Amino acid sequence: MEREQVIKKINGLGKSIMKNIDDMESPNVSIPQRNINNITFNKSKNLLELGDKKSTRSFMNVAHSKRFMQTVLIAGKCRELVERDKTASIRELYYQLKHTIADSKENTFEDQSESDPLVVDLETMLGTLREELHLKADDKGTLIGNIVIEDSGDFIDCSKLGRSGLSVPSIVEHYKFQDVNADYVLVIETGAMFDRLVEEKYPQKNNCIMVSTKGQAARGCRRLVHRLNHDLGLPAIMFSDGDPWGYYIYSVMKAGSMALAHESRRLGTPQMKFVGMTMDDIDTYDLKKVTENLKDLDKKRISELLRYPWFQKKEWVKQLNLMSEKGVRIEQQALASKSLEFVAEEYLPQKIEKGQLLP
């Protein structure tokens, strides 16, 4: 989207609020709802989509007053950022806007947890992307592999970054992919497993790019995997813990999240496949002794996943039910019970070779 267009959209918001005031109406904005009631799963595209239910945030409603005021402050700051062509992190935004309200002990924002969701509100409300509003989140995620990326005129060879790899920024729109020599992208949940595979020289030996999400994937990470898959046609494979949380990270990578359903199209990678850990691995690789019992919270999460429309594929229903039946979860690093090299030399290459992947 062009900068002028973004500014026009932000200005439109200001005008509509000013019109409310001139008409002696309560100043209000209308925000698409971002909860399960307004999310649909598009089976053919394998993506979460946002419905058209909206809620109104009105200044005269004291339950909304503060958030309404905060939303306007953020919109104003974004307009300033876009006009000055500066990009701020959402943490910087929080500090830029935080101050004490006159004649009170109250701050405009008490905590960053107050401003972060409002940034997403503004994105959905205006139909713009975060980066178009010149905002970015903190860096999270790492990439290593045989790819050269051009970033603002600099060339980064991601195969020559030692063991640390490239830290994935929150905005990757400006990345230009140069030399690529890889067969697929392996997305890894934990940093520890990523490190193990780096040490075993897995990317070199298997000719792939590795990305670590370090827990739930940030937007930058998701957008980058999407682009590697979409722009370069590289297959993407997920490798996570065998528990409901790992499986959910996979579903977010693949189909998108509820909170950012409006961006699923850009952030999701519908063609992604899943290599492990599966419940079947426990028997196949004789890992019974290194499983861990499910906690109440895990069980609760399993039944939640079973209710999500995008988990209704028979393979996934089977995995989740198996997990409930066995009452256990299995971590990626449990494979170390065989040997440190086992994961890199046997488990992953064999499963990927044979195509033992879940959809």
Partner 1 sequence: MDEKVEERRADDLFKEFKETSITEFFRKNKAHLGYSGSIRSLTTVIHEMVTNSLDACEEAGIQPEISIGIKKLGNNHYLVRSEDNGPGIPIKHISGVFGKMLAGTKFHRNIQLRGQQGIGVAGVTLFSQTTTGKPMKIKTSVGKGKVNEIELMIDISRNKADILSNNEYSQYWRGTEIQCELKGVNFTLREQGPFEYLRRTAIVNPHAKITFTDPEGRKTVFERSTDKVPKPPVEIKPHPKGTEVDDLVNMSKITDGRKVSSFLSSTFSRMSNAKANEIQNFINKGEAPFDLNKSPKKLTWAECEQITNAIKEIKFLAPPTEGLQPIGEDQIRNAILNILGPEFEAILTRNPTSHSGGVPFQVEVAIAYGGQAGRNIGEGRKVEVMRFANRTPLLFDSGACALTKSVNSVEWKRYGIKDFDNSAITILVNLVSTYIPYTSAGKQSVADDEAIMKEIRMALMEVGRKYQIFHSRQRRALEKEARKQILMRYSVELAAGLANLTGKDEEKILKKLNTLVLEKLKLEAEIQTLEDDEEEETENGFDDKEGENDSEGGEAENDSGDEESTEKPVEEVEENGA
Q: Of these, 3, 5, 8, 15, which contacts partner 1 (CB under 8 A)?
A: 15
Contact (CB, 8 A) for 26 and 32: no
Q: Which one of the spans 76-84, 137-145, 219-227, 268-276 is the region binding partner 1 (CB under 8 A)? A: 76-84
Q: Which is nearer to partner 1, 73 or 302 (CB)?
A: 73
Task: Report the C-alpha dihedral over residues 125, 173, 187, 139, rounded to 10 degrees.
Answer: -80
Residue 73 interacting with partner 1 (CB under 8 A): yes
Residue 28 interacting with partner 1 (CB under 8 A): yes
Strands 54-58 and 208-212: unpaired
CA geometry: angle at 357 spanning 217 and 245, to 5°? 35
The least CB distance from residue 17 to partner 1, in Å, is 6
Tell me which residues are annotated as active site: 95
Residue 5 interacting with partner 1 (CB under 8 A): no
Please, which of residues 81-120 interact with partner 1 by CB under 8 A? Answer: 101-104, 106, 108, 117-118
The least CB distance from residue 262 to partner 1, in Å, is 14
Q: Of these, 40, 43, 60, 157, which contacts partner 1 (CB under 8 A)?
A: 60
Site string for partner 1, 166-205 (x = CB under 8 A): ----------------------------------------
Q: Which one of the spans 24-32, 184-192, 212-220, 289-297 is the region binding partner 1 (CB under 8 A)? A: 24-32
Residue 26 interacting with partner 1 (CB under 8 A): yes
Q: Which is nearer to partner 1, 37 or 293 (CB)?
A: 37
Q: Compute φ and ψ for 158, nearest 5 degrees.
A: -75, 0
- From its phi and psi, is residue 35 left (phi > 0), alpha (psi between -120 and 50) or beta? beta
Smallest CA-to-CA distance from 268 within 217, 321, 214 is with 217
Q: Compute φ and ψ for 260, nearest 5 degrees.
A: -120, 35
Smallest CA-to-CA distance from 185 within 240, 143, 140, 246 is with 143
Instruction: Please write down the long-range contacts of 179-182, taking CB distance under 8 Å and 24 or more positions apart.
Output: 179/146, 179/147, 179/148, 180/146, 180/147, 180/148, 180/232, 180/234, 181/146, 181/147, 181/207, 182/145, 182/146, 182/147, 182/207, 182/208, 182/209, 182/234
Residue 8 interacting with partner 1 (CB under 8 A): no
Q: Of these, 6, 9, 50, 77, which contacts partner 1 (CB under 8 A)?
A: 77
The least CB distance from residue 104 to partner 1, in Å, is 6
Q: Of these, 39, 46, 50, 121, which contacts partner 1 (CB under 8 A)?
A: 121
Per rule CB under 8 A, count of chain residues that contact partner 1: 50
Residue 9 interacting with partner 1 (CB under 8 A): no
Residue 25 interacting with partner 1 (CB under 8 A): yes
CA pair distance 185, 235, nearest whole angstrom: 6
Residue 59 interacting with partner 1 (CB under 8 A): yes
Q: Counting beta carbons within 10 angstroms of the beta carbon of residue 104, is it exposed (0 to 12), middle (13 to 18) or buried (19 or more)?
A: exposed
Q: Of these, 2, 63, 105, 163, which contacts partner 1 (CB under 8 A)?
A: 63
Residue 134 interacting with partner 1 (CB under 8 A): no
Q: Which one of the spans 15-23, 176-184, 197-205, 215-223 is the region binding partner 1 (CB under 8 A)? A: 15-23
Residue 61 interacting with partner 1 (CB under 8 A): yes
The structure tokens 């910087």 sit at 92
The structure tokens 């970033």 sit at 151
> 46-78: b or e for each residue (b if 16 or more CB lie within 10 Å)?
bbbbbeeeeeebbbeeeebebbbebbbbbbebb
CA geometry: angle at 49 spanning 91 and 33, to 5°? 60
Q: Of these, 7, 42, 49, 67, which contacts partner 1 (CB under 8 A)?
A: 67
The structure tokens 């879940």 sit at 358
Q: Compute φ and ψ for 149, nearest 5 degrees.
A: -115, 135
Residue 1 interacting with partner 1 (CB under 8 A): no
Interface with partner 1 (CB under 8 A): 10-11, 13-15, 17-18, 21-22, 24-28, 31, 33-35, 37, 55-69, 72-73, 75-77, 79-80, 101-104, 106, 108, 117-118, 121
